[in-house]
Structures are given as structure tokens and as C-alpha cells.
Chain A
Amino acid sequence: MSTDNITHTHSAHVSHHFKDATQEYDSGKQGIWLFMVTEILMFGAVLVGYGIFHHLYPAMFSEGAKQLDWKLGFINTLVLIFSSFTMAISIQLIQRNQIKKAAMALAVTILCGAIFMVIKYFEWTHKFHMGFYPGRFLDMAKTHAEHANLGMYFGFYYCMTGLHGLHVLIGMGLITWLLIRTIRGDFHSQYWIPVEGVGIFWHIVDLIWIFLFPLLYLVG
């Protein structure tokens, strides 16, 4: 992202403690990236746990993955990748002062997030219905589980997708906030830091899903 077209005067958008818009922009961007580091580390720790237990019980994880519908996961992957695209487009459009189109792109992004969550909701309720509860609550008789500890796979499944889903919901909330501000006219070719910040967050959330999808649905 080029910073050339940012004004260097102390415009109304620049907070009191920054010298100019460039300093504000650089600080904001560094801040959001640092926050993303913490997000990745947080998910990273679950992935480490996943790695350890997958190493110990590969067959059990494979049995768990077979219970999931990879087609639904694949649709969700496509939906999120598309939403990343519309998110990126919205920043481009704001930089070109095409505010209405940018608002449209943001709205589509929120819609994609909603589609993802609805599909996720049906997946979860279906699993509950079949008796695939997490951990020790897994219904061994109803599910005909081969491995006595299949519940652990679903423990990981619900923790990972749950935490990710929570991030999608937070992202949708943030993008709604962006949408309101965009319609209000807060963003234009001179100022778009929050849009880019939330955008980076949204891309990272998508990226985490790109890891979760093969690990949970396609493994084994």
C-alpha cells in the first residue's frame, strides 16, 4: 500500500499526539500487525496441541475427519476467500474516492461472513444431532465410534472452529462499524486507516481458516 498520496499537513483526522498523517498511518499499521502476531500465536498454540495429539492418534483423527462434510467446508473456504477479495477491493475503492461502491463491497463482505456462520451453524447442529459432542460427552453408542477417544477430535474441532467463528463474528461487527462510517463519509482518499486495519484482521481470520480446513476436514 503506497503512502504517497497521504497529505503531510496536520489535517482534522490526525489525532493530537501525532505530528502528521504519515506518522499516524505508520503507527496504526504497525499496531494492527503486532496484534495479528498475538492472534497467530494464540491459534498457533492450539495447532501445537493438535499436532501432538495427531501424532499420537492419527487413526482417531482420520475417523473424526470422515464425519465432517468436506463439501460444506470447501464452500465456506470459497466464501471466505471471496470475502477477502471484496474487503481488499473496498480499500482500493476508498482510496479512489468511490465511496458508494466501497460501501457495497463492505456490505458484501459482511454478507459472506454471515453465509459462513450460517453454514457453520448447520454443521454444528447436525453434529450435535448425530451425537458428536466434544470430549467425554460424545455419544459412543449413537455414533458407532471406532476409537474410544474420538471425543478428543471433536474437542479440537469445536474449540478451533468455535474460536475462529468468534473471530468471524467480531470481524463482521467491525466491518459493520466501517460500513456505517463509510456511509457517513468518514473515509476518503486521504484517510482510510481503520478500513485497512480491520481489513488486515479479516485477511488473517481467513488465513487461519485456510489452515483449519485441511487440518480438520481433509486430514487422513
Chain B
Amino acid sequence: MGHSSSAHGENYINCEKGLWSWLTTVDHKRIGLMYMITVMFFFFVGGVMALLLRLELFAPNTVQGVGQVLKNGDVYNQVLTYHGAIMVFMVIVPGIPAILGNFFLPIHLGAKDVAFPKINLASWYCFMFGAALAIATFFTHKIDTGWTFYTPYSIRTGTSTVLMVLGAFVMGMSSVLTGLNFIVTVHKLRAPGMTMHRMPLFVWALYSTAILQMLATPVLAITLLLLAAEKLFGVGIFDPALGGDPVLFQHFFWFYSHPAVYIMILPAMGVVSELIAAFSRKVIFGYTAIAYSSLGIAAVSFFVWGHHMFVSGQSATAGIIFSFITMLVGVPTAIKMFNWVATIYKGSVSFDSPMLFALGFLFLFAIGGVTGIMLAVLPIDVHFHDTYFVVAHFHYVMVGGTLMALMGGFYYWFPKMFGKMFSETLARLSFVFIFIGFNVTFFPQFILGAMGMPRRYFDYIPNYEALNKISTVGSWLILTGFLIGLYAIVQGIRKGEKAPMNPWGAKTLEWQTSSPPPHFNFDVEPVVTAGPYEYR
């Protein structure tokens, strides 16, 4: 099935020149790179916010002025809100699907492009427009509601909530369009011989994600529109004064935002499946189980939203039901974990940097997942609700899970995307700093939460000082790790050695075309005769 690279060295990067050719491109690979640049930028902005928050929490403000970095609590709330909103809506949700998914899903299927290339480009412009609306609030009345925009505060505050939620609405539109494109591409554009059960697990994960994007995002969209209408016209649906119900907003919001948690993690699981199979040189253990557990997680995720609301006053019966269903999510998730571990078992494991990130994922995600089960238990959640325990839990999932996988996947596919190799030493060094720094930052937060430190607070009592100091030092280690990683990427693009067609010896289709791929991905349409992980 091997294909020679394009004879005259033409590829998707050099086939057309100039900024305009990028801004008007419908090539899924170029759109993936455009998403990469924007997401990296927002990650930088959101990261700076996080560093500021940690810096503020380095010491309590016991003596006026000492230990206080930000001007006052209001500024802290704003930084907190922008950190959350930027990281969720502009980094983690689009992250893996829009960058790696856009780039590799069509190639994984042996297709020339996604089903609707123009809509794919439109989704990038939607994303940019939505992001611009959200960023615009920064220059009007900075919002301070937290990324969840809970009513009634979000309606009564004098800040630009309307502009912000419209931004999130438009970005949601972009997410829907990407999901729609992926579903149709998977169903209709597979190469000859590429059956559903020969698709790489990354594609299965993206497919499950796309279903969530399609089914959950419209509910967020209408919720945000109703919130805007509530604020502008006082329609009364979320307003207790008119018999409306602020808790209904929470129900609507989490009906989207809980599946959104899986929109964030499922693609990461897909990346990890690829990495573990490739670097264990072994047929993946339990292909079908991993593939269908993604769909299982997607299905269950629609019935667990109430676990965000155990203390909101919903009925005890509802709480108990949500508690049990939430624990059910652990089953398909554990199926994946055990299958990955079983794949590594007796494999010829090599510890290249992408594999290090995958192993880091397994370790951190296990902690994030198990603490999630703890939080699903009603009496424990009532104690831990709105403490740093919850903060630590979801950072272990979102950062320890999704960002680790994104980094791992990025290093893994870097040679294919840019046709260059990066410095393995630098990549490993960046992993060491990120992994250690992450644990130093967030593990103490579990203890802080158990001690009762509430989240979202500008200040704390001196008892919490030591652990907060450790946590802040950890954030500097993470920063160092990402700076090294950025340097490795820039250096790789500028001076890296030319990458061979298949540097890792992996079996999926993207490694059977040249690095970087030609404009239409393959010189000759591939015909698939075997599964994606035929290592033995």
C-alpha cells in the first residue's frame, strides 16, 4: 500500500504561497494548523491568567499589601473568570478535535478532505469571531461570573455577560460544524476497504466526541441566548421574582457542560490509544471494547449532569439517581484504562517522548478519574463541593488528561505535520517539567480541599499557606515545561532534520504518505486490507 512521496517535493504547505492562500484555504490540514496557532495563543493567554492566580495565592493577604499581587478581589474574580472561560471554550474543547482531528481524521480514513471543506473553514472563522466577541468583553466591562455564568448573579451584575455568552454561542456554532463534518466524513468518505472496524481508535473517539458536540451544544446555545434575553429584556424564565427558576439555568447549563467534559476528554483517550499501540509495537488489546466504550461514555454522559448540583436544592431522589449514574461512567472509562495497560503488557515498549506523555496521561487521568468517583458519592460531595478538591480533580482530568494527550499527540504527529524532526531531548525535558510541575501544583490542592479551603476565593487563612506555596512553585515548573516545549517546536520547525515517511514505524494510514502529506493527502487513493494496528 506504500506510496512514493510527490515526485517534485510538493506538499500541502508549499503548494500555495502567501497569507491569503491560508485565510481562504479549504484544506483540512491547513485549517488544522490555523486552529493550532490560535489555540496556542489562547493557551498562552489563559496560562498567564493561571500564573497570576497562583501568584496571588502564594501568600495570604494578612498584612495589608503583603502577599497581595492583584489589586483587589474584583480583579481576582475577573482573572479567574477569563482563565476558566478561555481554557474551556478556546483551548480544551477545540484543542484535540480542531487541531489533530482536522489534520488526521481524513487521512486516517484515506479521504482527500472532510466532507464539507468550506464549512470546515467557516467553523474556523466562527471560532475566531466568537473568540473576538469574548475577548471584547475584556475591553468593556470585564466579566466576573466564573465560566459557568450562574444566574441570578450573571443577570444582575453590570458586566458584559451578554457579549461574553454571545461569544460562547458563536464558538459553540463552530464546535457543532466541526462535529457535523466529522460524523459525515466517517460515514461517507472512508477509503475502499476501510470498514468502521478498521478505523483507528482516534477516529472512533472523535466520532463519539462529534456526537456529543452535535447533541449537547444546541442546548448550551439556547441556554446562553435565554440568558442574554433574560439580561436584556428580563423575560423572567430564570428570575425568581417572576416565578422563574435560577436552578433551571444550572440544569440547562450542565446538560451541555457535563457532556462537554467528555468532549474534552474523549479525543484525548483516542490519541492515547494511538500512542500506546504505536510505542508498544503490539496489536491494541480490546479494539472493539475501546471503540464502543467511547460511545458508551458519550451515551451515559447525558444523564449525569445533576452531579454538579448536589447542593443546589434539587430533590434527594434526583441526587441519589445522579450519583449512581455518575459512578456508571467509571465502567467504560476503566475498560479503556485496563485495555491500554494490557496493550503495554509484554509489548516492545519504547519510551519516546510521545509515549512518555501517554504514560503520564494514564497516571494522571487515573487520579483524576478515581477522585471523580469519590465526588460522585453524595455525602462526600456535600463536604468537598466548591473546595479545592474539586479544582484539583478537574485539573487532573482536563490538564493531566487532555493537555498531556494533546502534547503527546502533537509530538507524535509533528514529523508528519511539518516534515521535520524535533529535538527528542528537549521534548523529554519538557515532559519531565510538565509532569512533575503538574503534580506539585495540583496534588496539594486535593489536601487543601479536604482541609476545607473553598475555591474561587481571593484570600485564605494562614493554615493553608504552606500547601499554597508548594502549589504556586509547581505552576512555575509547568511554565518552564511548556516554554521548553515551545522552544522544541520552534527549533524543530526551523532547523529540524527532514522527517522520514514513518519515523515511529506505526501502521495507520497517515504514515503511508509523505511527510508532510501532499495537497490531497495521498498520491493514489489507498485501498485498505488490514486493521490499523497490525504489528504482529
- Residues of A at the B interface (CB closer than 8 Å) are 15-18, 23, 26-27, 30-31, 34-35, 37-39, 41-46, 49, 52-53, 56-57, 60, 133-137, 149, 151-152, 154-156, 158-159, 163
Taken residue by residue from 103 to 125, chain B's Cβ proximity to chain A (1 for < 8 Å, 0 otherwise) reads as 00000000111111101000000
B189 touching A156, Cβ below 8 Å = no
Contact string against A for B residues 175-194, beta-carbon threshold 8 Å, 1 for contact and 0 otherwise? 01000110110011100000
The answer to whether A152 and B218 have CB atoms under 8 Å apart is no
Instruction: Digitize B185-212: 1 where CB-to-A-CB distance is under 8 Å, 0 elsewhere.
Output: 0011100000000000000000000000
Q: Which 4 A-B pairs have the closest CB atoms?
A: A155-B235, A135-B236, A135-B234, A42-B218
Partner of A135, one of B222, B239, B248: B239
Is there an interface contact between B252 and A45, defined as CB atoms closer than 8 Å?
A: yes
- Determine if B243 and A135 form an interchain contact, defined as CB atoms under 8 angstroms apart: no
Contacts of A26 in B (CB 8 A): 188
Q: Are A136 and B226 in contact (CB under 8 A)?
A: no
| Chain B residue nearest to A30 in the complex (CB) | B184
Contact A49 B237 (CB under 8 A): yes
Q: With contacts A27-B184, A38-B214 known, is A17 near B189, CB below 8 A?
A: yes
Q: Closest approach, in angstroms, between the C-beta of B82 and any C-beta of chain A? A: 27
Q: Tell me whether chain A's interface is mostly helix, strand or loop, or mixed.
A: helix
Q: How far is A133 from B218 in the complex, measured between Cα atoms in Å?
A: 27
How far is B235's CA from A49's CA once the two chains are assembled, in angstroms? 12
**B241 at interface (Cβ–Cβ under 8 A)?**
yes
Out of A15, A42, A135, name the residue touching B235 (CB < 8 Å).
Answer: A135
Across the two chains, which residue of chain B brings its CB closest to A38? Answer: B218
With A35-B180, A38-B176, A38-B218 given, is the CB distance from A17 to B242 under 8 Å?
A: no
A-B contact count (CB 8 A): 130
The reply to whether B235 and A34 contact each other, CB–CB distance below 8 Å, is no
Contacts of A151 in B (CB 8 A): 234-236, 242
Is B34 located at the chain interface by the 8 A CB criterion? no
B188 touching A156 by the CB < 8 A rule? no
Q: How far is the CB of B414 from chain A (nearest CB, A)?
A: 25
Besides A31-B184, A38-B215, 16 more A-B contacts (Cβ < 8 Å) are: A16-B112, A17-B520, A35-B176, A38-B176, A41-B218, A42-B221, A49-B226, A53-B237, A134-B235, A135-B236, A135-B242, A136-B239, A149-B236, A149-B243, A151-B242, A158-B235
Please, how many angstroms separate the alpha-carbon atoms of A156 and B243 in the complex? 13
User: B235–A159 contact, CB under 8 A?
Assistant: yes
Q: Which residues of B are found within 8 Å of A57, using beta-carbon distances?
A: 243
Interface flag for B136 (CB, 8 Å):
no
In the bound complex, do residue B115 and residue A136 qualify as a contact, i.e. CB atoms below 8 Å apart?
no
Would A31 and B236 count as touching, CB distance under 8 A? no
Q: How far is the CA of A87 from the CA of B117 in the complex (A)?
A: 27
> Does B353 count as interface, using CB distance less than 8 angstroms?
no
Smallest CB separation, B197 vs chain A (Å):
20
A152–B234 Cα gap in the complex (Å)?
A: 9
B214's partner among A37, A45, A52 (CB-CB below 8 A) is A37
* CA–CA, A18 and B112, complex, Å: 8
Q: How far is the CA of A146 from the CA of B233 in the complex (A)?
A: 21
- The reply to whether B183 and A34 contact each other, CB–CB distance below 8 Å, is yes
- A159 pairs with B226, CB closer than 8 A: yes
> Is B273 in contact with chain A by the CB < 8 A criterion?
no
State in angstroms the CA–CA spacing of A38 and B214 once bound together. 6
Q: Considering only CB atoms and an 8 Å cut-off, how many residues of chain B contact the other chain? A: 43
Q: List 6 A-B contacts (CB under 8 A).
A: A26-B188, A30-B183, A31-B184, A35-B176, A39-B218, A42-B219
Task: Find out whether the CB atom of B234 lies under 8 angstroms from the CB atom of A17.
Answer: no
Give every chain B residue within 8 A of A53 (Cβ-Cβ). Answer: 237, 243-244
Q: How far is the CA of A135 from the CA of B241 in the complex (A)?
A: 10
B225 interface residue (CB < 8 Å to A): yes
Cβ-based interface call for B229 (8 A): yes
Chain A residues with CB under 8 Å of B183's CB are: 30, 34
Q: Is the beta-carbon distance between B117 and A17 smaller than 8 angstroms? A: yes
Known: A34-B183, A45-B252. A152 touches B236 (CB 8 A): yes
How far, in angstroms, from A17 to B116 measured CA to CA in the complex? Answer: 9
Give every chain A residue within 8 A of B294 (Cβ-Cβ).
Answer: none
Residue pair A27, B115 in contact (C-beta under 8 Å): yes
CB distance from A163 to the nearest CB of B (A): 7
- Per the bound structure, the CA–CA distance linking A159 and B232 in Å amounts to 12
User: Which of chain A's residues have a CB closer than 8 A to the CB of B187?
Assistant: 27, 30
B217 at the interface (CB under 8 A from A): yes
User: Do A152 and B243 contact each other (CB < 8 Å), given the known contacts A17-B111, A30-B184, A136-B236?
Assistant: yes
Q: How far is the CB of B102 from chain A (nearest CB, A)?
A: 14
| Nearest CB in chain A: distance from B292 CB, A | 21
User: How far apart are B172's CB and chain A's nearest CB, in angstroms?
Assistant: 10
Whether the Cβ atoms of A134 and B236 lie closer than 8 Å is yes
- Tell me the smallest distance from the CB of B125 to a CB of chain A, in Å: 17
Quick one: which of B442-488 are within 8 Å of A by CB? none
CA distance A37 to B68 in the complex (A): 50
**Pairwise interchain contact B234-A31, C-beta atoms closer than 8 A:** no
Judging by beta carbons under 8 Å apart, are A27 and B188 in contact? Answer: yes
Say yes or no: is B223 at the interface (Cβ < 8 Å to chain A): yes
Residues of B within 8 A of A154 (CB): 235
- A137 nearest in chain B by CB position: B234
Picked from A42, A137, A158, the residue with its CB within 8 Å of the CB of B222 is: A42
Are B235 and A45 closer than 8 Å at their CB atoms? Answer: no
Residue of A nearest to B119 (CB): A31
Q: Which of B111, B116, B235, B245 contacts A156 (CB 8 A)?
A: B235
A125 to B13 alpha-carbon distance, docked (Å): 55
- By a CB distance below 8 angstroms, the chain A residues around B214 are 34, 37-38
Tell me whether A31 and B115 are in contact (CB under 8 A): yes
Nearest CB on A from B395, distance (A): 29
Once bound together, how far apart are the Cα atoms of A189 and B281, in whole Å? 52
Considering the chains assembled together, what is the distance between the CA atoms of A158 and B237 in angstroms?
A: 12
Contact B116 A31 (CB under 8 A): yes
Contact call B215/A155, Cβ cutoff below 8 A: no
Using Cβ atoms and an 8 Å threshold, which residues of chain B touch A134? 229, 233-236
Interface centre among A31, A152, A158, A163 (most CB of B within 10 A): A31
Query: Which residues from chain B contact A15 at a C-beta distance below 8 Å?
Result: 117
Residue pair A136, B225 in contact (C-beta under 8 Å) = no
Question: What chain A residues lie within 8 Å of B181 (beta carbons)?
Answer: 31
Pick the most buried of A26, A27, A156: most chain B CB atoms within 10 A of its CB: A27
A156 CB contacts on chain B under 8 angstroms: 235, 237
The residue from B111, B225, B248, B520 contacting A52, defined by CB atoms under 8 A apart:
B248
Residue of A nearest to B179 (CB): A34
Within 8 A of A (CB), among B212-271: 214-215, 217-219, 221-223, 225-226, 229-230, 233-237, 239, 241-245, 248, 252, 255
Task: Report the minimum CB–CB distance from B299 to chain A (whole Å).
Answer: 16
